[in-house]
Amino acid sequence: MAVTMHDVAQRAGVSIKTVSNVVNGYPYIRDTTRTKVLSAIEDLGYQLNVTARNLRTGRTGIIGLALPELSLPYFAELADAVIVAAEAQGLTVLIEQTSSERSRELEVLSGARRHLTDGLIFSPLAIGAGDEDLLRVDFPMVLLGERIFHGPVDHVTMHNVEAARAATEYLIGLGRRRIAAIGVHTGEVVGSAGLRLQGHLQALERAGIPADPALFGEAGLWHRATGASAMAAVLDSGARPDAVFAFNDAMALGAMHELQVRGLRVPADVAVIGFDAIDDGIYSTPSLTTVDPGREQIARTAVALLVERIAGKETDHVPVQVYADYRILERGSTVPGAP
Amino acid sequence: MAVTMHDVAQRAGVSIKTVSNVVNGYPYIRDTTRTKVLSAIEDLGYQLNVTARNLRTGRTGIIGLALPELSLPYFAELADAVIVAAEAQGLTVLIEQTSSERSRELEVLSGARRHLTDGLIFSPLAIGAGDEDLLRVDFPMVLLGERIFHGPVDHVTMHNVEAARAATEYLIGLGRRRIAAIGVHTGEVVGSAGLRLQGHLQALERAGIPADPALFGEAGLWHRATGASAMAAVLDSGARPDAVFAFNDAMALGAMHELQVRGLRVPADVAVIGFDAIDDGIYSTPSLTTVDPGREQIARTAVALLVERIAGKETDHVPVQVYADYRILERGSTVPGAP
DNA sequence: ATTCCACCCTACATCGATGTAGAGACCCTG
DNA sequence: CAGGGTCTCTACATCGATGTAGGGTGGAAT
């Protein structure tokens, strides 16, 4: 039913392989032959069967992108950026949602989709320190995020500690002293939560401000709702922060909401800074000051590394760690009247 | 290098086809044989080559989802819902972003990915009335959204007119009379913009309120930014609305932002209702009253229809139109103190 | 004892493309 | 004019699975 190379070959009066050569841009073909083949393709409405090519070449032109949840704006925007970057390289992206479940993340690593994709960009949340061995997979992979350090694979990440330190230093620079940290995971050292808290504490220490545990807001998942309730918990404990550093924008927006519900003015009473630079922060009331962790750069770099990994031979590869550049976007939640 | 059925067959001492039969759950296999094969699979770490199966069967287990942009929360949440629904049916989803460009939408319809996917769920934005012919594709497809009416394919959509009418009637029920409409596309009749405006006008007419063009806020793309500037334009024109019906939540949030920037209180001075029920609306200040158009129902239905289309024989199929149920979620932007 | 059917398994062709090897034509060099 | 290189094209094997057709069993039915 469908038109195959065989049909095209017959109509053009050439061999199948010649059609294949034309389609693939093989140079040594007479112009007259090429024209014949192309018009036969046109006439028949031929379309290459990608599956057959995949079987023969072992390449699919698809890369997997495994992330926790698309409904979280940070990941939706990251997916967007990855898709755009992949497209520029002629690749298609297959998204897998792990729902932050360890079992789903292990499934992704087990390579169930391995024959369908040429490689994987993986942003893990549930697996972490101690799981380095799970990352020794036999297909090209690039990691995103903070969960694993010094693993055996390429890793694109951000300057979490430095960027977090910069955020808190920025608040201190505004004259704030009682700075709440929202999104703390007590006991965690390596993940985003651990690193950002570390940067936060460094900044406090350098400024000679003692850290006050009453200002730590615990939040497991980093949603708006958890940000709001972490903020509520801090306020209910009697602490009176004059600034908030939320470890991501979603929580920052939730926290800001909670502050305003309680009649506190942002930024007059409490300045708020987030982390991620999601689009939403531009349109909140007030707009949200945030740390831009270089999302597009991360996406571009991850795709580029993966392409390199796919093309390269397995041997002599030394895992690289790439850190994207960060900067602070100053907006209305810290400076009255800022854009 | 990779383990194939051949290797498994050899190790288990059976034929390749028997391995295939075991893998595919063919019933007539002796238990001892099945056990032998399964342990050979286990020993060798065999994984089915999906590509080869695809070539042979013509099915890939992948469905395409073409939508405008993942960075728009509505579509991100829709994608999430579709992925979940597809997973429940054992299908994987390949997302394509059209960036709302006509050329990209045509490309999607031309079936470039046809051999890679079993079918397509397509949410068009750029193509519309007059393009019905483009939809006569020779692969299974289900349409989402409002752009095309009475096309030749299955279509899952929402009660736009009725839901919009309900939104405006709700505002009227609160005693509001000067209701701005944000997201108007002048001249458009069939798309979401046209239908929602139509419902809005119906509600006004039934209440005997004359429509005032000064209260129409034009917005091409339905982002927060355009919502904010459409709101600004309405206010700058000197109109003094006491309520706003934004045709989606993103614009509603942008409009609400603009109102607050200008010192207007929501909902005291201006009540705001959106459309879409994206998660963001829960955490805005105040939280956003909105129309829930039944997104999950839409996703589930679309996947179910597509599966039916894929399984069914091409003939005797009559295109169906399915309308999801809507309801109003009342929150703080219309009722002070609401959740 | 023959027939039949349910059960269990195998051999071979096949899906639609690409890689390999090599054949034929042509031109250039020495 | 032999030898070599470049250009153009073809035949055939091959990727890894599944569909088809059919060959043996053994037990029940005739």
| pLDDT, tens digit (0-9, with 9 covering 90-100), for B252-285 | 998 998 998 899 999 999 999 999 999 888 888 8
* 3-state SS, residue A40: helix
Strand D nucleotides with an atom less than 7 Å from a protein beta carbon: 7-12, 14-20
**DSSP annotation of A109:** H
Q: HSE of B245 in the Cβ direction (CA atoms, 13 Å)?
A: 30
Query: Which pLDDT belongs to residue A133?
Result: 85
Does the beta carbon of A224 lie under 8 angstroms from any beta carbon of chain B? Answer: yes
To 5 degrees, how large is the angle CA A100–CA B64–CA B119?
A: 130
Measure the CA–CA gap between A84 and A326, rounded to whole angstroms: 21
Query: CB distance B80–A95 less than 8 Å?
Result: no
Query: Which pLDDT belongs to residue A315?
Result: 53
Q: Which nucleotide across the nucleic acid strands is nearest to B21, CA versus C1'?
A: D18
Of B51, B79, B256, the CB nearest to A70: B79
Would you say residue A314 has pLDDT above 80?
no
Query: Which pLDDT belongs to residue A264?
Result: 95
Helix, strand, coil shares of chain B, percent, nearest 5, are 45, 15, 40
Q: List chain A domain ranges.
A: 5-48, 62-158+295-325, 160-293
Measure the CA–CA gap between B234 and B131, rounded to whole angstroms: 33
Would you say residue B315 has pLDDT above 60?
no
Give me the amino acid identity at B11: R
Distance of C1' in D9 from CA in B8, Å: 40
Q: What is the CA radius of gyration of chain B?
A: 25
Alpha-helical regions (H) of chain A: 5-12, 16-23, 31-44, 50-57, 73-88, 102-110, 160-173, 192-206, 224-236, 249-261, 280-283, 295-311
Handedness of CA A141, A314, B93, B133 (dihedral sign): positive
Task: Show the tokens assigned to B130.
Answer: 């007059």
Query: Which pLDDT belongs to residue B232?
Result: 96
Strand C nucleotides with an atom less than 7 Å from a protein beta carbon: 7-12, 14-20
Instruction: Tell me which residue of A265, A261, A281, A285 sits closest to A273, measured CA to CA.
Output: A281
Higher pLDDT, B79 or B125: B79
Q: What is the CA radius of gyration of chain A?
A: 25
Q: Tell me the pLDDT tens digit for each residue of B152-193.
A: 889 999 999 999 999 999 999 999 999 999 999 998 877 789
Does the beta carbon of A6 lie under 8 angstroms from any beta carbon of chain B? Answer: no
Query: Which pLDDT belongs to residue B237?
Result: 95
Query: Which pLDDT belongs to residue B218?
Result: 95
- Model confidence at B338, pLDDT cuts 50, 70, 90, reads low
CA of B263: how far to CAs of A39, A255, A270, B192, in Å? 66, 22, 20, 31
Q: Which residues in chain A, range 166-225, keep a C-beta under 7 Å from any nucleic strand C atom?
A: none
Whether B179 and B245 have beta carbons less than 8 Å apart is answered as yes
Q: Can you tell me the mean pLDDT for B8-34?
A: 93
- Model confidence at A317, pLDDT cuts 50, 70, 90, reads confident
Does the beta carbon of A116 lie under 8 angstroms from any beta carbon of chain B? Answer: yes
Query: CB distance B225–A60 less than 8 Å?
Result: no
Task: Show the tokens assigned to A185.
Answer: 């995971």
**Cα-based torsion angle of the residue sequence A150, A152, A155, A158 in order, rounded to the nearest 10 degrees:** -10
**Cα-based torsion angle of the residue sequence A60, A64, A70, A74 in order, rounded to the nearest 10 degrees:** -120
Instruction: Tell me which residue of A302, A295, A300, A301 sits closest to A275, measured CA to CA.
Output: A295
- Model confidence at A138, pLDDT cuts 50, 70, 90, reads confident
Q: Which residue of B has its CA nearest to A3?
A: B115
Query: Which pLDDT belongs to residue B1?
Result: 60
Percent of chain A with pLDDT over 90: 68
Query: CB distance B256–A285 less than 8 Å?
Result: yes
Would you say residue B314 has pLDDT above 60?
no
Percent of chain B with pLDDT over 90: 68
Q: Residue B66: phi, psi to the nearest 5? A: -105, 120
- Model confidence at A130, pLDDT cuts 50, 70, 90, reads confident
**DSSP annotation of A209:** P
Angle between helices B50-57 and A50-57 (to 10 degrees): 140
Nearest-CA distance B209 → chain A (Å): 32
Beta bridge partners of A182: A217, A246
For chain B, give the longest Cα–Cα distance: 85
**DSSP annotation of B285:** S
Measure the CA–CA gap between B256 and B241, rounded to whole angstroms: 12
Query: Which pLDDT belongs to residue A313?
Result: 59
Would you say residue A119 has pLDDT above 60?
yes
Does the beta carbon of B69 lie under 8 angstroms from any beta carbon of chain A? Answer: yes
Q: Tell me the pLDDT tens digit for each residue of B78-103.
A: 999 999 999 998 899 999 999 888 99
Neighbours of B188 (CB within 10 A): 15
Whether A147 and A289 have beta carbons less than 8 Å apart is answered as no
- For nucleotide C16, give the residue with the nearest CA to its C1': A52
- Enumerate residues 6+ apart whose C-beta is below 8 A from A116: A60, A62, A64, A94, B50, B51, B62, B92
Query: Which pLDDT belongs to residue B128?
Result: 72
Q: Would you identify the CATH topology of the domain B62-158+295-325?
A: Rossmann fold (3.40.50)
Tell me the CATH architecture of domain A5-48.
Answer: Orthogonal Bundle (1.10)
- For nucleotide C9, give the residue with the nearest CA to its C1': B18
Same fold, B5-48 and B62-158+295-325: no
- Model confidence at A220, pLDDT cuts 50, 70, 90, reads confident
**DSSP annotation of A318:** P
Q: Which nucleotide across the nucleic acid strands is nearest to A55, CA versus C1'?
A: D15
Whether B326 and B158 have beta carbons less than 8 Å apart is answered as yes
Measure the CA–CA gap between B123 and B105, rounded to whole angstroms: 9
Handedness of CA B263, B264, B268, B274 (dihedral sign): negative
Q: Tell me the pLDDT tens digit for each residue of A73-111.
A: 889 999 999 999 999 988 999 999 998 889 999 988 887
Does the beta carbon of B221 lie under 8 angstroms from any beta carbon of chain A? Answer: no
Measure the CA–CA gap between A77 and A94, rounded to whole angstroms: 15
To 5 degrees, how large is the angle CA A10–CA A11–CA A15?
A: 40
CA of A91: how far to CAs of A161, A311, B77, in Å? 33, 13, 24
Length of chain B, please? 339
Would you say residue A160 has pLDDT above 80?
yes
Q: Would you identify the CATH topology of the domain A160-293?
A: Rossmann fold (3.40.50)
